[in-house]
Amino acid sequence: LGTQLSGSVLCVTAFKAAVLIQRWYRRYVARLEMRRRCTWRIFQSIEYSCEQDQIKLHNFFSYLMDHFTPSSSKERDFISRMLTEEESYKDTELEKLCDYESVEVLDSYTGPHLSFPLLPDHATALLEAFKQKQQLHAHYVLKLLHETRRHLMQLPNINHVSTCYSEEITIWEGFAVCPLLTLWHLTYFLFSYVFNGDFVDRGKQSVEILIILFAFLLVYPKEVHLNRGNHEDHMVNLRYGFTKEVMQKYKVHGKKILKMLQNVFCWLPLATLIDQKVLIVHGGVSDMTDLELLAKIQRHKFVSVLRGKKRKGKSRHMDSKVINGESPVGVDPPRSSSFPGSCLQPGLASTASRTELSQWVRQTVEEELEKCRRQVGFSETPGDKELTCVSSVTMTESELESCETSESSQGEWKQIVDLLWSDPMPQEGCKMNTVRGGGCYFGPDVTENILQKHSLQLLIRSHECKQEGYEFCHNRKVLTIFSASNYYEIGSNRGAYYQANKTAHTLTLRQRISRVEESAFRALREKLFAHTSDLICAFKGYDQEETGTITLSDWATAVESVLHLGLPWRMLRPQLVHSTAGGLLEYKSWLDYLAVEQRSKEHIQSSLLETIYRNRSNLETIFRIIDSDHSGLISFEEFHQTWTLFSSHMNIELTDDGISDLARSIDFNKDGNIDFNEFLEAFRLIEHTHCDDKAALPTSDGC
């Protein structure tokens, strides 16, 4: 760089020095950017593979139905509990279900009180209360949900909004870390708002968000519009944490609230149409999407999109309908042999043969009633009205009819799934969304067709996290909005809403990236650990001479071949593999290092451990389903049965001893009950969620 000889030489030198520093700095930033992108890819691929898990769960249930022959009535009961809605209530009336009257509000309650019809003051009072970290009493929650349901029931499947009424419309999707701050916008109601689904399962304040949304919906029905998202689905909530949150916050009445919520979610509109020009849906569309058909279906039938139509008569008011001339008798549906589908109580099923078991599972009471009603020319009106229908249908007719009904409701189901779960893709065409396990990938041509067919100009959707919070695609005909900032981790992405407000960073680039990165790599290492056996096999394939080492390049190829995450392993390698000698990796010790990190229980069969890790989301979900009273306890037998079923489905060799070892390693001594939270926690399978975790939330993007 020379020494200072004269002024002009100094200038030249300063110039060169500056270039050097700038060159160096730009490289530093570029490397950070690369790390940021890689981290992003990790999160995305892991999340998507989690969602793929969900369809595996769905397949598991189908597998059970097709292959499993219950050998005892106990097993049958067990299965039936998994395949149908848990029914711990004897009541069939919906009113009794939400039963807010019986929930007493004690004088000691210091939270907000609501009275209906709700007024703007109530809504703002709620906001204030939540900011003070208060909780709304279950009595009011239930009443609110009841009123919300009544309101939603009046809305069509596709909600029409006009900008003649309000000049601007703001579209939000999802909320996360700083939700209450964002919700302050709601108090300044100059515009209309469309909330595009996924109100829950994001962050730890889903309950509060939902309450606020519903309250404002009731207070400002003309300005607030809600679309259903794929997380407005209790099966999804079981996995993603909303169920847990509700049960933690409402220990006594949580169950009621969850049940009621199912009835509210299914009534959420499926789409919103602005000025007949802009269509807003949560996921997307498919080549089969038919808006006219969508407008006509009975959306509330589809309580959970994941279980398809295999659900018990959701609207309990139907249960007390008259079938075959018999008068309704509380719970028990008539034991008419012409309606095998009516045998929905587990007890009744025990007398059925295997074929009838499958049939029974495939039919719902409503389908039976549907055909019943059609036969008498009765059209259903929405609402809690008591319907009566008399018919004398024979067995064969009922079978035929139910098949037809199955097909048409299958088609309707697909319409909804496509709307809530699809993602756009750059290529033309339409193909199944195997990553999410539901909905499809739709190309620009599909978008174009839909827009033209219905004379629309723009499709707005959400469902995918975008780093900058929003993204146009398909020739700017599709706009993705993602409002939940810090979705994966603090600093992982910015939130956005349609009015595209750029937000300022508060952490430096470097700080944001390293925090997020740590989180991503932790998740990735766990995934790697979960595939230890397969990885060893793959590595050995590259180590023909049994030196115990492989090249780093082979490492990358092998890892991708096992994990199928589509990640740039060579870019990620420095963070995953720390010690290499001469460009070679000792793979066994690397895998040991991963295992140590997971703090595994050595005395547990290692393949079993891997299995647990690999399937932890599904396991947790299954356990939660079995634990119908949300007590956190399941019986040892149920635990055993679950494992047996699961392992046979997954083709895993699992000895009874193996399972017993597992059970023994759990500290359970509660009369044959397993506290499965402890079990999952013991293997660090669930994150620590402390109710009192009120760590200061950093001001972050999108708030």
Partner 1 sequence: SLPKKERDSQTQTIIADIQKKITDAFEVFDHECNKTVDVREIGTIIRSLGCCPSESELHDLLAEVEEEEPTGYIRLEKFLPMMTKVLMERRYRPIPEDILLRAFEVLDENKCGHLTKEELVKYMTEEGEPFTQEEMEEMLSAAVDPETNTVRYRDYITMMVVDEN
- By annotation, the residues acting in catalysis are 231
Q: Quick one: tokens of 307? A: 């279980």
Place of tokens 């149920």: 638
**Smallest distance, partner 1 to C-beta of residue 525, A:** 19
Supply angle C-alpha 546, 552, 556, rounded to 5: 105
**Alpha-carbon torsion, ordered 561, 567, 571, 575, to 10 deg:** -90
Please, which residue, 453 or 505, has the CB nearer to partner 1? 505
For residue 24, state whether it binds partner 1 (rule: CB under 8 A): yes
For residue 19, state whether it binds partner 1 (rule: CB under 8 A): yes
Which SS3 state, helix, strand or coil, does residue 432 take? Answer: strand
For residue 277, state whether it binds partner 1 (rule: CB under 8 A): no
For residue 29, state whether it binds partner 1 (rule: CB under 8 A): yes
Please, which residue, 31 or 251, has the CB nearer to partner 1? 31
Please, which residue, 518 or 656, has the CB nearer to partner 1? 518
Measured CA to CA, the distance from residue 423 to residue 195 in angstroms comes to: 18
For residue 431, state whether it binds partner 1 (rule: CB under 8 A): no
For residue 18, state whether it binds partner 1 (rule: CB under 8 A): yes
For residue 21, state whether it binds partner 1 (rule: CB under 8 A): yes
Measured CA to CA, the distance from residue 282 to residue 195 in angstroms comes to: 9
Q: Where does this chain touch partner 1 (CB under 8 A) — which range of 60-68, 136-144, 340-348, 567-575? A: 567-575
Helix (H) or strand (E) holding 480: strand 478-481
Measured CA to CA, the distance from residue 568 to residue 415 in angstroms comes to: 35
Please, which residue, 331 or 552, has the CB nearer to partner 1? 552
Per CB under 8 A, the list member of 74, 510, 522, 664 interacting with partner 1 is: 510
Q: Where does this chain touch partner 1 (CB under 8 A) — which range of 385-393, 411-419, 492-500, 562-570? A: 562-570
Q: Is the dihedral angle over the CA atoms 18, 23, 27, 29 positive or is it negative? A: positive
For residue 472, state whether it binds partner 1 (rule: CB under 8 A): no
Q: Quick one: tokens of 557? A: 């190829």
Q: Which amino acid would we find at residue 607? A: S
Kindly report whether the peptide bond that precedes residue 444 is cis, defined as omega within 30 degrees of 0: no
For residue 699, state whether it binds partner 1 (rule: CB under 8 A): no
Per CB under 8 A, the list member of 72, 337, 396, 508 interacting with partner 1 is: 508
For residue 441, state whether it binds partner 1 (rule: CB under 8 A): no
For residue 569, state whether it binds partner 1 (rule: CB under 8 A): yes
**Smallest distance, partner 1 to C-beta of residue 568, A:** 4
Task: Point out which residues pair with 271 in neighbouring strands.
Answer: 158
Measured CA to CA, the distance from residue 309 to residue 298 in angstroms comes to: 12
**Smallest distance, partner 1 to C-beta of residue 504, A:** 10
For residue 13, state whether it binds partner 1 (rule: CB under 8 A): yes
Please, which residue, 44 or 611, has the CB nearer to partner 1? 44
Please, which residue, 149 or 512, has the CB nearer to partner 1? 512
Q: Where does this chain touch partner 1 (CB under 8 A) — which range of 28-36, 105-113, 359-367, 399-407? A: 28-36
**Smallest distance, partner 1 to C-beta of residue 280, A:** 24
- Tell me the site size for partner 1, rule CB under 8 A: 37
For residue 165, state whether it binds partner 1 (rule: CB under 8 A): no
For residue 181, state whether it binds partner 1 (rule: CB under 8 A): no
**Smallest distance, partner 1 to C-beta of residue 413, A:** 30
Q: Quick one: tokens of 641? A: 């049965």
Q: Quick one: tokens of 612? A: 């647990």
For residue 509, state whether it binds partner 1 (rule: CB under 8 A): yes
Q: Where does this chain touch partner 1 (CB under 8 A) — which range of 37-45, 50-58, 599-607, 641-649? A: 37-45
**Alpha-carbon torsion, ordered 423, 419, 305, 480, to 10 deg:** 50
Q: Which amino acid would we find at residue 264? A: V
For residue 522, state whether it binds partner 1 (rule: CB under 8 A): no
For residue 14, state whether it binds partner 1 (rule: CB under 8 A): yes
DSSP string, 155-176: S-SEEEE-TTTSS-EEEE----
β-strands 633-635, 673-675 pairing:
antiparallel
**Smallest distance, partner 1 to C-beta of residue 512, A:** 11
**Smallest distance, partner 1 to C-beta of residue 88, A:** 48
For residue 41, state whether it binds partner 1 (rule: CB under 8 A): yes
**Smallest distance, partner 1 to C-beta of residue 699, A:** 16
CB–CB of 589/570 below 8 Å? no
For residue 116, state whether it binds partner 1 (rule: CB under 8 A): no
Q: Where does this chain touch partner 1 (CB under 8 A) — which range of 29-37, 491-499, 584-592, 649-657? A: 29-37
**Smallest distance, partner 1 to C-beta of residue 42, A:** 11
Q: Is the dihedral angle over the CA atoms 348, 353, 355, 356 positive or is it negative? A: negative
Place of tokens 């994150």: 687
**Smallest distance, partner 1 to C-beta of residue 72, A:** 51
**Smallest distance, partner 1 to C-beta of residue 517, A:** 12
Measured CA to CA, the distance from residue 196 to residue 185 in angstroms comes to: 16
Site string for partner 1, 531-560 (x = CB under 8 A): --------------------x-x--xx---
Measured CA to CA, the distance from residue 12 to residue 17 in angstroms comes to: 9
CB–CB of 237/201 below 8 Å? yes
CB–CB of 460/498 below 8 Å? yes
Q: Quick one: tokens of 164? A: 């003649």
For residue 22, state whether it binds partner 1 (rule: CB under 8 A): yes
Q: How far is CA 510 from the centre of its chain?
A: 31
Per CB under 8 A, the list member of 570, 588, 664, 670 interacting with partner 1 is: 570
CB–CB of 257/245 below 8 Å? no
Q: Whose CA is closest to 345, among 355, 358, 360, 356?
A: 360
Q: Quick one: tokens of 489? A: 């981790």
For residue 432, state whether it binds partner 1 (rule: CB under 8 A): no
Cα atoms found within 13 Å of the Cα of residue 71, Cβ hemisphere only: 2
For residue 568, state whether it binds partner 1 (rule: CB under 8 A): yes
| Alpha helices, H only, 70-116 | 73-83, 94-98
Task: List contacts with partner 1 (CB under 8 A).
Answer: 1, 13-31, 33-34, 37-38, 41, 426, 508-510, 551, 553, 556-557, 568-571
